[in-house]
A and B are shown apart, each in its own frame.
Chain A
Amino acid sequence: MTSIIERHYRGLAGGIMYAHRCTDCYGLTFPMTTCCDDCGSFTYEEVRLAGRGVLLFASHTTAPASHPRFVGLAPYVLSHVLLDEGIATQGVLTGVDPTPDAMEDLYERRDVLVELDVLRTADLPVIAFRIR
């Protein structure tokens, strides 16, 4: 058996974001769990997301990192992204300095488009976004 969580990270290792589409109400659940966020149904099919979206907001974190996995990376930028499929999610934003000035510049811009940029940590590929 492969757990749903493992499917998620294996997908990211190959540059793919998976979601579940409910076979009862067609709602999308991302990241994947055992049932539908919208109606609670346990029946679903796996679908691929485009891995693209619009940046809604981003701010920098602090050091030390909130988790040992990010000790070498903190401080970093955490982004709040609306995926093309209408799902809001959060992940590291790469390619932007984690400074107040850079955050203010980003805040002033509108319609910043982003795409999936998988971050390869020592033990896990994790969701990140880069500006496109």
Chain B
Amino acid sequence: MATRLAGHVVIAGVGCTRFGDLVSTPGIAGLSLQELAAAAAREALEDAGMRGHDVGALYAGNATGQSSGLPATHTQLARWVGLNLKPGVRIDAAGSTTNVAIVMAAEAIASGAIDSALVLGVEADRSRPKGLSPYEREPIPPDLLRVWTDQSCDQAYAVPQGHDMIAACNGIVAQGYMRRYSMSAKDYDRAMFEVCRTRRLHGALNPRAVLQQRLEDEAAEHGFADPFDFWRSSLNPFASWPARRRSLATPADGASAVVLVRGEAARGLPHRSVTLRGFGTAAADVPWYTLDPTNWRHDAVAIHAAFTMAGITGADIDHLHTDDSSHILGIVAAERTGYLPYGEGLEAASAGRLRFDGDKPMSTHGGRHAFGHASSASAGSDTYEAVMQIRGRAGAAQMPSAPGLSVVATHGRSLISQVLVLEGN
């Protein structure tokens, strides 16, 4: 039997900060993580026309306590977002955190226990507290970030024995894709350049993205007339053959927030509300695939559950976000949803069809590479973008025709596959 919510739950407000670095990015440099979280929460609450005191519960997400200093995220942040004395919980589903929290909040609202909820994700994947200072921050050494984020992955066997996320999610998946569709390494490289070019275009159009420079402009800055020569240069080495560095996520500090309310409470909003029409979740640990590295069973389970609940197929999707912290994995997931035919995702990218103004727009805020990856806030950044696209308020990267139905599919290591089906009212 398909899962159903007992009531109608809508997204009434969304918020998202600039993704960047609390040490050096203009606009957020110097802020504490508490203030960054509050900025996202305030935007979402004001968007919904509510104050924290009107909200029933707080679902506060954070994945990496070592960099946030917020291991008790809910109790430490409630005062900063106007939800003092309200019930809540800290939630960690890594890169799926905010969207898993949206589902949990929706279930609580549909049950009748609460009428509304604030979902909040805040993450520092670039900076950490400097010494014992409660407000000064410093860059995270690159080797430490992976040790911390790997803590969401099998600590009995895989991590102690050399598990490497970049190889497992990029190089090996890429080779699986090439083999499955008889694609040459040369053609693969060219297509991945096109995927990155599209994501960087979207980032350049988004004032909240961590990378706001088009790939072509970055190439020119380094003296390359042909951006593909730059792509193939030593400035963009293989991180895990055949996957290059610019096919990977860019770590960021960031926060995102969503206000959910019972359906009838959404009347009177100054903007189009968005219904949570379906969801699906599936979890597993490494290895994520068996014979075929492009066959992620948890994605199949989560997509099937969400689409069955929503009564949709891939043909109904107008706008899609997948976890593209590995660009090839984002394409694999898009094909799994049915949004793109199997084996045609890279061709679609090369033809510009995945651009915001193409016929199969994907990751229109720039994705994990250009918008950035702030683990527990990343899924919420996708949901923010989906809601803004549906409202027709996504700025320079607004789709020419606002989508009626958007699907957001995220991954949280290791591995929480989370799919939301969002529909404009």
Residues of A within 8 A of B (CB): 5, 8, 31, 33, 56-62, 64-71, 73, 76, 78, 80, 82, 88-92, 100, 103-104, 107, 119, 124, 126-128
| Interface status of B380 (Cβ within 8 A of chain A) | no
Kindly supply a per-residue 1/0 record for chain B positions 383-422, scoring 1 wherever the CB is within 8 Å of any chain A CB and 0 otherwise.
0000000000000000000000000000000000000000
| Interface status of B129 (Cβ within 8 A of chain A) | no
Q: Are the CB atoms of A64 and B142 closer together than 8 Å? A: yes
| Interface status of B176 (Cβ within 8 A of chain A) | yes
Kindly supply a per-residue 1/0 record for chain B positions 171-187, scoring 1 wherever the CB is within 8 Å of any chain A CB and 0 otherwise.
11011101100000100
- Per DSSP, are chain A's interface residues mostly helix, strand or loop, or mixed? mixed
Q: How far is the CB of A18 from chain B (nearest CB, A)?
A: 12
Chain A residues with CB under 8 Å of B170's CB are 59
Q: How far is the CB of B352 from chain A (nearest CB, A)?
A: 28
**Among A8, A56, A57, A92, contact of B157 (Cβ-Cβ < 8 Å):** A8
When chains A and B are docked, how far (Å) is the Cα of A33 from the Cα of B363?
38
| Interface status of B351 (Cβ within 8 A of chain A) | no
| 5 pairs of residues in contact across A and B, judged by CB atoms under 8 Å | A59-B171, A64-B143, A66-B163, A69-B162, A78-B163
| Interface status of B150 (Cβ within 8 A of chain A) | yes
Chain A residues with CB under 8 Å of B174's CB are 59
When chains A and B are docked, how far (Å) is the Cα of A125 from the Cα of B6?
52
Chain B residues with CB under 8 Å of A91's CB are 161-162
Chain B residues with CB under 8 Å of A88's CB are 287, 289-291
The interface-forming segment of B16-24, B200-208, B237-245 is B237-245
When chains A and B are docked, how far (Å) is the Cα of A78 from the Cα of B179?
18
Q: How many A-B residue pairs have CB under 8 A?
A: 111
| Interface status of B160 (Cβ within 8 A of chain A) | yes
Q: How far is the CB of B168 from chain A (nearest CB, A)?
A: 7
Nearest-neighbor residue (CB-CB) of A101 within chain B: B241
Q: Are the CB atoms of A89 and B162 closer together than 8 Å? A: no
Chain B residues with CB under 8 Å of A126's CB are 160-162
4 extra interchain contacts, Cβ-Cβ under 8 A, other than A59-B167, A82-B291, A127-B161? A8-B157, A64-B143, A66-B146, A88-B290
Chain A residues with CB under 8 Å of B150's CB are 66-67
Q: How far is the CB of A131 from chain B (nearest CB, A)?
A: 17
When chains A and B are docked, how far (Å) is the Cα of A92 from the Cα of B157?
13
A-facing residues in B129-174 (Cβ within 8 Å): 142-143, 146-147, 150, 156-168, 170-172, 174
Q: Are the CB atoms of B143 and A65 closer together than 8 Å? A: yes
| Interface status of B301 (Cβ within 8 A of chain A) | no
Q: Are the CB atoms of B286 and A90 closer together than 8 Å? A: yes
Nearest-neighbor residue (CB-CB) of A3 within chain B: B156
Chain A residues with CB under 8 Å of B165's CB are 66
Q: Are the CB atoms of A62 and B157 closer together than 8 Å? A: no
Q: Are the CB atoms of B156 and A90 closer together than 8 Å? A: no
Chain A residues with CB under 8 Å of B239's CB are 62
Q: Are the CB atoms of A31 and B241 closer together than 8 Å? A: no
Q: Are the CB atoms of A57 and B176 closer together than 8 Å? A: yes
When chains A and B are docked, how far (Å) is the Cα of A59 from the Cα of B171?
6
Chain B residues with CB under 8 Å of A82's CB are 290-291
Nearest-neighbor residue (CB-CB) of B153 within chain A: A66
| Interface status of B293 (Cβ within 8 A of chain A) | yes
A-facing residues in B278-316 (Cβ within 8 Å): 286-287, 289-291, 293
**Among A66, A100, A104, contact of B164 (Cβ-Cβ < 8 Å):** A66
Q: Are the CB atoms of A56 and B167 closer together than 8 Å? A: no
Q: Are the CB atoms of A67 and B160 closer together than 8 Å? A: yes
